[in-house]
Amino acid sequence: MERYWLLTSTFYGNWLPGDLRGFVSRVRDQRAEDAPTSTRKEHDVLGTPYDADLPGLHHSAQESLRGAPIRIDAEQAQILLKQFHETAAYRGWQLLAIAIMNNHVHLVVVVNGDPDPTKMLGDFKAYGSRALSGRWGKPTSDTWWTYGGSKRKLPDEQAVHAAISYVRSQFEPLAVWLSPEFA
């Protein structure tokens, strides 16, 4: 059985929890009318609202940074693009689309079976970090990436095409790659 995923991660210090533009992170969930107390929930289900504009959370996230936010350049994006392909090939995954911007990345991935999407995104980030650190050294924050990321399961062909279109149309990408069948 094949599963399709839209995986997203930001580089360290970018798009912090509480951001005005919106964000995906674990927050107290009080959306359910009948919920007597709040629970922590990550709102990253395709087609559902995400969280936005929580100034207190954003300020707290900024205060806890261990280094300056990371913005990559075109050369670093090319290194990551190559490494994402190598990682997918090694794991037996198929990439359908990749967009790398200076502050975040998106990948549309097809996998056999049902591997843990957190592990999948973690593999892309770990091997990407190794490639970047091997060339430019470790950043002051000791990491290239923000913790976690968004892992959206794409339930049908329409969702896959929408995700690929979304990845293809990113604003000011440093690198975009599409599988030949979608180019």
For the chain, which domains are there?
A: 2-13+68-178 (3.30.70.1290), 26-63 (no CATH)
Confidence at residue 72, expressed as pLDDT on a 0 to 100 scale: 98
Tell me the CA end-to-end span of the chain in Å, nearest whole number: 25
CB atoms within 10 A of CB 118: 12
**For residue 123, which of 162, 88, 150 has the smallest C-alpha distance?**
88
Helix axes 117-136, 74-91, angle to 10 degrees: 130
* Whole-number Cα distances in Å, 175 to 23, 72, 76, 117, 119: 22, 11, 10, 23, 24
Q: How far apart are alpha carbons 8 and 98 in whole angstroms?
A: 10
Q: How far apart are alpha carbons 39 and 49 in whole angstroms?
A: 17
Per-residue pLDDT of the chain (183 residues; tens, 9 = 90+): 899 999 999 999 887 777 667 666 666 555 555 555 556 565 555 556 666 667 777 677 667 778 888 999 999 999 999 999 999 999 999 999 999 999 999 999 999 998 999 999 999 999 999 999 999 999 999 999 998 899 999 999 999 999 999 999 999 999 999 999 987
Ramachandran angles phi, psi of 21, nearest 5°: -75, -15
Write the single-letter amino acid at 63.
E
Confidence at residue 134, expressed as pLDDT on a 0 to 100 scale: 97
